[in-house]
Amino acid sequence: DQQVKQNSPSLSVQEGRISILNCDYTNSMFDYFLWYKKYPAEGPTFLISISSIKDKNEDGRFTVFLNKSAKHLSLHIVPSQPGDSAVYFCAPTNFGNEKLTFGTGTRLTIIP
Amino acid sequence: NAGVTQTPKFQVLKTGQSMTLQCAQDMNHEYMSWYRQDPGMGLRLIHYSVGAGITDQGEVPNGYNVSRSTTEDFPLRLLSAAPSQTSVYFCASRPTGAGPNQPQHFGDGTRLSIL
């Protein structure tokens, strides 16, 4: 029972273009959504989050969009840079619940 | 700042052996957790703790034990290693009660192979 799916295991994008990473979830109780970035041989690091009361949150080159009715969120990176090459995980949760449910991850490769 | 420190970084075990994966944090975080990462599966929660003396099971707890005698340390014990426990293990911590906008801090992982 995969509650959180990232249907693209990998994505390649030219440097300077937009990267769009998608995440779908089934549990309507999720009300807070986080994105983590992971480099090889390192632990995941927090990137950006969004609350269910919003539909968009921006932080520099990173923007997360939430469509609650479709149970879908996406992470936009623009412009993409070589240092963005990593695996990205979406991780929905509930406010007040300490547990995270991680998606399967998308490996993003930025082509110089 | 050391953050979350996991030891060892790599370990090879034989089926049936036991071992303890160590996790320590120096941020005085109440909440600590253990995840395993397998190909195509994302990270799955094994056990977690909301403070010293309090632990609970996550999504995949079978074959693992934990204890939390201090705020700083949260060791994960494999009682009798099985090949299905070959994985990369991550420990994480965060303050409790701060809401999910206080994200978890992860260690760099322990890569465990069971032969």
Q: Say yes or no for a CB contact (<8 Å) between B35 and A103.
A: no
Q: A34 φ, ψ to 5°?
A: -120, 150
Q: Say yes or no for a CB contact (<8 Å) between A49 and B101.
A: yes
Instruction: For residue B70, give every residue at least 6 positions away whose Cβ sits within 8 Å of its Cβ, in sequence order, or none.
Output: B52
Beta bridge partners of B10: B111
Model pLDDT, residue B19: 95
Token code pair at residue A64: 């997360």
For chain A, what is the mean pLDDT? Answer: 93
Is the pLDDT at A38 greater than 70, yes or no?
yes
DSSP B79: S
Is the pLDDT at B76 greater than 70, yes or no?
yes
Model pLDDT, residue B56: 94
Model pLDDT, residue A96: 67
| Cβ-contact A82, A74 below 8 angstroms | no
Q: Touching check for B68 and chain A: CB below 8 Å?
A: no
Q: Say yes or no for a CB contact (<8 Å) between A49 and B45.
A: no
Q: B20 φ, ψ to 5°?
A: -120, 125
Token code pair at residue B100: 């999910």
Q: Touching check for B35 and chain A: CB below 8 Å?
A: yes
Average pLDDT over residues B77-81: 95
Is the pLDDT at B55 greater than 90, yes or no?
yes
Is the pLDDT at B101 greater than 70, yes or no?
no
Is the pLDDT at A106 greater than 70, yes or no?
yes
Our measurement of the distance from residue A28's CA atom to the centroid of its chain's CA atoms, rounded to an integer in Å, reads 18
What residue in B sits closest to A43 (Cα-Cα)? B108
Interface test with A, best of B94, B104, B111 (most A CBs within 10 A): B104
Average pLDDT over residues A30-49: 94
Nearest-by-Cβ selection for A89 from B43, B48, B94: B43
Q: CA of B15, closest CA in chain A: separation in Å? A: 25
Contact pairs from chain A to chain B, CB under 8 Å: 60
Query: Percentage of residues in chain A with pLDDT exceeding 70?
Result: 96
pLDDT category at A70 given cuts 50, 70, 90 is: very high
| Cβ-contact B2, B29 below 8 angstroms | no
